[in-house]
Amino acid sequence: MNAIRGLLSSAATLALLISAPAALAHSQWLLPSTTQVAVSSNPQRPAYVSVDAASSNGLFYADHNAMRLTNLKVTGPDGAVIEPENVATARYRSTFDVKLAAPGTYRIASVSQGVSATYKVGEETKTFRGTEEALTKEVPADAAELKVSRSFGRVETFVVAGAPSEITPVGAGLEIYPLQPVTDLVVGETARFRVLFNGQPVPNLKVKIVPGGVRYRGELGDEILTADANGEVAVDWKLAGPYWLNASYPPRPEEDDDDDHGPQAKPAAASAAPAAPQRREMPPLRASYSGTFEVLPF
């Protein structure tokens, strides 16, 4: 009887582990070894943090593909760009180290921009993928049946050495901007974030919040919040540990299934949307954001 119960328990656990992470199919994330470190008093032995980067089915569990680090950008408290060290890419994850030589908040991000297009030359359909500059050079301005799509993705996390310093919005693409220091995220306390697109608040956009540890918890435990008229969401943390915050703009069709978004989630300022080139009609920009934040126990 005990053996049968054990088999049933194992089967149920396996089913949960297989089914729960599937809702996050191939999600990208950056996970630092720690988000807070003490400032080193010895300049010969500066503080470091190691970061894992991957795309996976199970959140913070490298089980699909390593994230490519060609678009990695690390900025220090003063805004200066910092070169990551010991960069390596394996089958399921990439890793790198960041030297924290000065006190303050460090932003670690992978930022990707791309353009794709289809058009016709005679009866043949052509496809293009590349940069905006390459599009201008390689695709005829008067191409027949030209359709262009643009994407802007941002995956980021923050690490603090000593006391946190002020961070400012990037002002490009989609962001979920913390309205308090990233060291002040504590279970039992409400945290506020503002959803921004090209620096402007986006009201009524949905934000997905997922705690780590789903592999052992057996359920996703996600929460969907809708930004208010000021583009803000209030998060009440229920568990300690790393969290993944995610949003897309415009909303994906499967997310826009009720009236929470209003007729269409738009930035507060009309000028927030990128200007359309005169030579071709530009469809809505597809932007995404994924951020890792650590929540501490009370």
pLDDT tens digits, residue range 33-83? 999 999 877 877 889 999 999 999 888 999 999 999 999 999 999 999 999
Residue 38 within any structural domain of the chain: yes
- Residue 7: its pLDDT value, please? 36
Summarised one tens digit per residue, pLDDT across range 23-35 is 456 789 999 999 9
The residue segments making up the domain with residue 117 are 25-295
The whole-angstrom separation of Cα 222 and Cα 209 is: 6
Tokens of 30: 């950056």
CA angle 133, 110, 183 (to 5 degrees): 145
Give me the helices (H) in 20-103, please.
none
Give, for 2, the enclosing helix (H) or strand (E): helix 2-19
What number of other Cβ atoms are within 10 A of residue 290's Cβ? Answer: 22
Residue 12 within any structural domain of the chain: no
Summarised one tens digit per residue, pLDDT across range 185-217 is 999 999 999 999 999 999 999 999 999 988 888
Residue 141 within any structural domain of the chain: yes
Tokens of 13: 């656990």
Q: Does residue 116 or residue 260 have the better pLDDT?
A: 116
Residue 59 within any structural domain of the chain: yes
- Residue 12: its pLDDT value, please? 38
- The count of residues in the chain is 298
Q: Give the pLDDT band of residue 222 (cuts 50, 70, 90).
A: very high
Q: Are 215 and 205 in contact (CB under 8 A)?
A: no
Q: Which residue has the tokens 């582990």?
A: 17
- Residue 263: its pLDDT value, please? 37
- Residue 253: its pLDDT value, please? 60
- Residue 175 sits in a domain whose CATH number is 2.60.40.1930
Nearest to 132 by CA among 272, 249, 277: 277
Q: In percent, how much of the chain has pLDDT > 90?
A: 57
Q: Give the pLDDT band of residue 268 (cuts 50, 70, 90).
A: low
The whole-angstrom separation of Cα 101 and Cα 97 is: 12
220-242 mean pLDDT: 95
Q: Does residue 159 or residue 251 have the better pLDDT?
A: 159
Dihedral of alpha carbons 62, 291, 159, 95, sign: positive
Tokens of 183: 């060291």
Number of domains in the chain: 1
